[in-house]
Copies of this chain bind each other. A is one copy, B any other.
């Protein structure tokens, strides 16, 4: 690994769209002195319905764009991109790369009290079987791992419908098998899902622990930066880190939906054209 950026460089975070803002929020809460650059590939969202090769090509461009902005670390906030592109990005990027799946798996393994662990995610994430493999490596037997695709959660949330009868129906349909399997821990394996935490908790019951990938990933990022001596020193932690936002498209319902994911209005936002994405992707091939 070469060219690891300076202490003062920002941390880069990318996602297929706006869902990763839940990760940015968790990072900002945990590391308030760090500057954060977010890239959301809103022009090509969603990733979760698309094939591995496509997701890998997109992720290379997304990460390349952050590298071109001089980040000291790339956080892959998107579960689907983590599932299909993490190894590839680790090979080609000149900075450390952190994915969302391992932190989620570790947190779930620590949380479970020996029953079954459930994981919900996009079609791509679940079909990649990365979460299932991680849980199995952690010692769970086949009967203790329950996985479920929830393809409609993303469009419902991108429409701002977390409290809606359609969303209630989707929760009922997707999560009924989880309830029957009596999971004691449920991984929210998509950065959009923390917005449904209350509704999911209500359906699953209070005894089921929900693992929010955003919190787990922010903790892992802090740990990793510390190991690499890339964390801003304590004394500097009193500064207010800057947040900046790059998007490949401005969706019709932005900024309303964006603010909901971030928990505050989105300022300091720029769009990135298709040409710049192409260049950023090609630049990563030449490293």
Q: Count of A residues near B, CB < 8 Å?
A: 34
Stretch at the interface among A20-28, A178-186, A245-253: A245-253
CB contact between A155 and one of B54, B124, B152 (< 8 Å): that residue: B152
Bound-state Cα–Cα, A145 to B50, Å = 37
Bound-state Cα–Cα, A124 to B251, Å = 9
0/1 string, A39-81, CB within 8 A of B gives 1: 0001110000111011001100000000000000000000000
Copies in the complex: 2
Bound-state Cα–Cα, A63 to B42, Å = 22
Bound-state Cα–Cα, A53 to B247, Å = 13
Between-chain CB contacts (< 8 Å), 21 pairs:
A43-B50, A44-B44, A49-B251, A49-B253, A50-B249, A50-B252, A51-B252, A53-B249, A57-B273, A57-B274, A58-B274, A124-B252, A151-B155, A151-B159, A152-B155, A152-B156, A165-B169, A166-B169, A166-B170, A166-B173, A278-B278
Residues of A bordering B, CB below 8 Å? 42-44, 49-51, 53-54, 57-58, 123-124, 127, 151-152, 155-156, 158-159, 165-166, 169-170, 173, 248-253, 273-274, 278, 281
Bound-state Cα–Cα, A251 to B50, Å = 5
B-chain residues with CB within 8 Å of residue A165 when the two chains form the complex: 169
**In whole Å, how far is A92's beta carbon from the nearest beta carbon of chain B?**
16
**In whole Å, how far is A223's beta carbon from the nearest beta carbon of chain B?**
33
CB contact between A50 and one of B42, B170, B273 (< 8 Å): that residue: B42
